[in-house]
Amino acid sequence: MCKLGLFIPVQRRFINPVPVSTTDRTDSLHSSFVPELVYFEPSALDYPKGKRIMEWVAAAGIPYRMTNSHNRITNLPGESELEQYKIAKRTLVVGIRKTLKFDQSKPSAEYAIPIATGCMGHCHYCYLQTTLGSKPYIRVYVNMDEIMQAAKGYIDERAPQNTRFEAACTSDPVGLEPITGSLRELIEFMADEEYGRLRFVTKFHYVDSLLDARHNGHTRVRFSVNSKYVIKHFEPATSRFEQRIEAAGKIARAGYPLGFIIAPIIWYEGWQEGYAELLSSLAAALPKDASAGLTFEMIQHRFTKTAKNVIERRYPKTKLEMDIDKRKYKWGRWGQGKYVYPDEQANALRMFISERIFEHFPDATIDYFT
């Protein structure tokens, strides 16, 4: 499909030669993500997407290496663990997705659809810190036809009920879209599936290549938003709030169902003013026609003991509060529980933010608070 070629930023002049530090924020002066190092599985080059990415990498002069498995990248440059981590976040691995059994993705969808793993963002609280463990590099998969075939199997199994697929469980796919074009493929695949629905969430604004995709209303695009305090202190190397909202307006005007995820909701000195301001600026910035059918999802901040250790090593100066004495322990399904806010605080956050949502968006739906 030659139109995918449009997604590949082949023009060298768009490449930002200055590595983005972990404190930088992507802004309009920066182009979309450009890796500093790329690995290819040899068989990925048998696929058109793998070939196109290789052509782009070669034209852009980005160093690349070959690897036998996208799961075993062991020779990353960097002197210390921290340095290797930062380099890994700028390293792209192009491979084949072999596991086509999808994980569940409650509460936002039935299944997670795997098109990428890892992210170039540096959000301190991100659960990928622990779930990706020693593999924080960014993997993209080129065998989209096989992935979509597997999705079709899940859809047929549940028909005539709708089956929802979440494409952002292990990555931020919009951040990678200019390189892969995979979201557009998924959107157009799902448009033709009577009982298939796609959803994804992003902190990036690279949506232009999705605006004329044939979506048939089957894809819901959500933007992750937060108070100025949270974005400033905990979300380096992501798009600014204003860029996310501008992208949300474009998505709404392109006829996609639109939503916002407020996550993680954080209790800090001044949180009421912060979240009240978030909702009022959202209402002020969003075009009027964007409010129809709007959904909100709310997720309070949580962490595991393992995450706390990893985060403190990787972002030693973080202001993220992770004091287990101030939290409530919530048992998890797979053994390891999480620390969330005590009920009184969680209820205060939920009620206050819900009221602000309905004050500004009376017709919106709140899908869940967790």
In the bound complex, what is the minimum distance in angstroms from residue 82's beta carbon to ligand SF4?
16
Nearer to ligand SF4, 118 or 196 (CB): 118
In the bound complex, what is the minimum distance in angstroms from residue 263's beta carbon to ligand SF4?
8
Nearer to ligand SF4, 38 or 261 (CB): 261
The Cα–Cα gap between 272 and 356 comes to 10
The Cα–Cα gap between 368 and 109 comes to 12
Q: What secondary structure does DSSP assign to 5-32, as a single string?
A: GGGS---GGG---SPPPTT--B-TTS-S
- Comparing C-alpha atoms, which of 366, 117, 99 is closest to residue 222? 366
Positive or negative, the CA dihedral 149, 93, 17, 55 is: negative
Largest CA distance in the chain: 56
In the bound complex, what is the minimum distance in angstroms from residue 126's beta carbon to ligand SF4?
3
The Cα–Cα gap between 139 and 119 comes to 9
The answer to whether 148 and 100 have CB atoms below 8 angstroms apart is no
In the bound complex, what is the minimum distance in angstroms from residue 194's beta carbon to ligand SF4?
31
In the bound complex, what is the minimum distance in angstroms from residue 238's beta carbon to ligand SF4?
5
Nearer to ligand SF4, 128 or 207 (CB): 128
- Comparing C-alpha atoms, which of 67, 74, 75 is closest to residue 95? 67
- What's the chain's Rg over C-alpha atoms? 20
Binding site for ligand SF4 (CB under 6 A): 119, 121, 123, 126, 128, 172, 203, 238
Nearer to ligand SF4, 117 or 143 (CB): 117
Task: State the CB neighbour count (10 A cutoff) for residue 310.
Answer: 18
In the bound complex, what is the minimum distance in angstroms from residue 180's beta carbon to ligand SF4?
15
In the bound complex, what is the minimum distance in angstroms from residue 20's beta carbon to ligand SF4?
13
Nearer to ligand SF4, 119 or 155 (CB): 119
Nearer to ligand SF4, 123 or 150 (CB): 123
Nearer to ligand SF4, 38 or 168 (CB): 168
Residue 233 buriedness (CB in 10 A; 0-12 / 13-18 / 19+): middle
In the bound complex, what is the minimum distance in angstroms from residue 3's beta carbon to ligand SF4?
26
Nearer to ligand SF4, 121 or 257 (CB): 121
How are beta strands 138-141 and 116-117 bridged, if at all? antiparallel
Give the 3-state secondary structure of residue 340. Answer: strand
The secondary structure element, H or E, covering residue 238 is none
